[in-house]
Chain A
């Protein structure tokens, strides 16, 4: 690993100052970034740890909105128990040690195509709150490892409207235990949202056809005959495009059944 300066600011303002210098990079829980740096695939000159910023910690539930600090760990999101889909998702990421370090902000900023959190954010129509602005989830995800974030911009919080019912189904890639396919289904008074991670070369996406059908008939049977276009799905060692497309359908049905 190349060397760098390590700084650990205590508030967002100081973090932004630290990040303003060239070749500085924010460090969430480091569960993805540190292995990447070991492979010398990332070489920041300054690493700005966000784990000391108390204003970015914690889960707040007010009315129908849950607000999660950007530096909140997966373990703490799972503990907070805001709503079923989110709790299950956070409690199933990686392993206990990873959940104790990895953060929601770090996951969303990285936008790994196989990460879990993007599915929750997109399916709940979350608002990504940064030091500078608020971004709708529908505008935030822009393809694998690509987001609407600017260079010096920190996710300080994520706001999610709490669904009536929700569920996340992850089919694990057998080696990494990331999502080979993950489907988050969230039912709101005004309709159902279905977000899919792991499957597409374009990163997390909404399965709008299923959303339409499920919004009128929220049952697994409703999507039995449906299929999802496999042409832009990922094909790799662990599954073909067609296999992933199949999993999208199967897991959506299971998420609906579990959420009902």
Chain B
């Protein structure tokens, strides 16, 4: 069977498809969040040195993962938009930015709340914390730049360049704890070594990460539908959709 993938690269055909997918992703997000919260707060044991306060990682770590991952996806869409002149790709990038910014903010705030009792400080200018703060500024800069230019084609292009330049920051965040002496601890979970954490804690974190993931997809699809309508408002199909009379 031959599937025409490009069929859904047009806003007109993608709009109803996204609408159909949204409830599924929201449903999965709720399921994973319930499972994740149950494992995190009811099943996972106390930590041997941090006591109960360590439980912030069930929000902090998935949020930090999402902040980096969403940026890469956003930059990827932006690159596609730039190279292929694809409108929908640019819209996807635009739709992802606020969610990415939110997760970055969440990671910074939860880390800070945890840092005060554990490290003894709200904030330090070490490489990990500083590069994550730069990520927040990149998201905010992307959003601001896009909304500052009225012409959508030009705003897409400007935003895409910013998103692509900023993508170098992501490996810097990820490897900062390896490359420099930082106050932030090294990675507990990495792609190359066994996790330095008991399985039940890991499970809670993975469920929460999946919940955040599903939520991000759902909310990005909701946002992209709004962007599609806003940008295509003068086209026939949008007018037909709302049964508007000329």
A and B: interacting chains: no
* B residues at A contact (CB < 8 Å): none
Residues of chain A touching chain B, judged by Cβ–Cβ distance below 8 Å, are none
